[in-house]
Amino acid sequence: MTCPHCAASISETEERCPYCDSYIDRGRHPRVEPPPPQQNRNLVRSLGEDKVNPLLVALSLIPMLGIILGAIFMSGGNPKSGKTYLITGLVAFACPFISVMATMIFSAIHA
């Protein structure tokens, strides 16, 4: 007899396949299908939409954060928002006055 799940050759008296551990369907055991894989809904939601977050744009005014956020979002499949954060970080790096002001504002907010 051949296992219907893995196509291995098995004995006629086997109730379960010794190779794939599946029940041999002879009407005695219900066939149990594995549940579909569950995905993290927050991750799918965040990666599924390529929208620019205004708070992250403001944080990108701190140059290193902008570059890091840009790299994370671009490698995560969000090129639109990733480029926005990366460009904002590079502009803030080129214009130190902007990054100093942004750092002061965010430190005052969180103080």
Predicted local distance difference test score (pLDDT) of residue 40:
44
Residue 47 pLDDT greater than 70, yes or no: no
Domain count for the chain, please give it: 1
Residue 97 belongs to a domain: yes
Q: What is the pLDDT of residues 33-46, one digit of tens each?
A: 666 655 444 443 44
In a domain, 74, yes or no: yes
3-state secondary structure of 23: strand
Residue 23 lies in a domain: no
For 53-110, the pLDDT digits (tens) are 888 888 887 888 888 888 888 888 888 888 988 888 888 888 877 777 777 888 888 7
Residue 43 lies in a domain: no
Quote the CA–CA distance of 71 and 38 in Å, as a whole number: 27
Q: Which range marks the domain in which residue 79 is found?
A: 52-109
Q: Looking at the domain assignment, is residue 70 inside a domain?
A: yes
Instruction: Note whether residue 38 is domain-resident.
Output: no
Q: Higher-confidence residue: 25 or 92?
A: 92
Per-residue b/e over 36-55, b at no fewer than 16 CB within 10 Å? Answer: eeeeeeeeeeeeeeeebeee
Any domain includes 60: yes
Query: Does the pLDDT at position 29 exceed 60?
Result: no
Neighbouring C-alpha atoms within 13 Å toward the C-beta of 70: 19
